[in-house]
Chain A
Amino acid sequence: MPDAPLPDAKSPAAKSPAASGKISIHCRVNGRDETLCDYPMARLLDTLREKLRLTGIKEGCGEGECGACSVELNGKLVNSCLIPIAQVEGAEIRTIEGVATQGQLNAVQQAFISYGGAQCGICTPGMVLAAVNLLEQNNHPTETEIRAALAGNLCRCTGYMKIFEAILRACDRTEVHS
Chain B
Amino acid sequence: MNPRKVWSVAWKELLQSARDPLSLGMLLGVPCMMLLLYGYAINFDVRHIALAVEDNDKSAVSRELIASFVNSTYFDQVADLPAGADLRRLTERRQAKGVLIIPEGAARDLAAGKTVPLQLLLDGVDANTATTVLGYASALIAAANVQEVAAASGRLQLAPIDFQPRVWYNPELKSTRFLIPGLIGFILMLTAVLSTAISVVREKERGTMEQLRVTSLKPGELILGKTLPYLGISLLATVLILVAARFLFGIAVAGSYFQLFAATLVYLIGALGLGLLVSSVADTQAVAFQGGALISMLPAIFLSGFIFPIRSMPRALQIVTYAVPARYFNVVLRGVILKGAGLESYPQDMAFLVVYALVVMGLAYLRLARKEV
Chain B binds chain A: no
- By a beta-carbon cutoff of 8 Å, the part of chain A in contact with chain B is none
